Amino acid sequence: MSETDRYLGVTAGPFALALPLLTVRQILDVGGPSSMAPTDPRALGVEPISLARLLDKPPRDGRPGLLLFDGHIGPVLLSVCGVSGVFDAPAPRPLPRTVACRWPGLVRGLLSYPEGTLRLVLDPRVLMGLVEAGA
């Protein structure tokens, strides 16, 4: 049996992404119509940062999901367009060397989500570095 890891499926703008579940400190809200977070996420004491905007794309309409991470210099609150669930998957397939990435090291590879969607797996350390650098 192959070894698997747990991932959190999220969307950020047009991107279907996966984050290693162990790096997410807390899922504060899944977003959308079943949202349970306070009206103003700043009430949590940390200004949310849109993952879609960080990736230079507009976020989708609707209430965002909120994920809390331990950043390099303090807590980081990311807003995502939606949280689609937790899933187990083997190690991501590396991207072909011909794929150009704006932020080297951010994308670890590709995973096939249970319903067949391909998801880009983000490296949480590189992601936190981008967030804290104000990319």
pLDDT digits (tens, 9 = 90+) for 16-34: 999 999 999 999 888 876 6
Domain boundaries, the chain: 5-133
Q: In the prediction, which pLDDT does 37 show?
A: 56
pTM for this one? 0.84
Which residues, in sequence order, are bridge partners of residue 66?
A: 29, 79
Q: What are phi and psi of 127, to 5 degrees?
A: -60, -45
> pLDDT digit string (tens) for 67-123?
999 888 888 899 999 898 899 988 898 887 777 678 888 999 999 876 778 899 999
Beta strands in the chain (DSSP E): 5-12, 15-20, 24-29, 49-50, 65-70, 75-80, 82-89, 107-112, 118-122
- Between 42 and 70, the more confident residue is 70
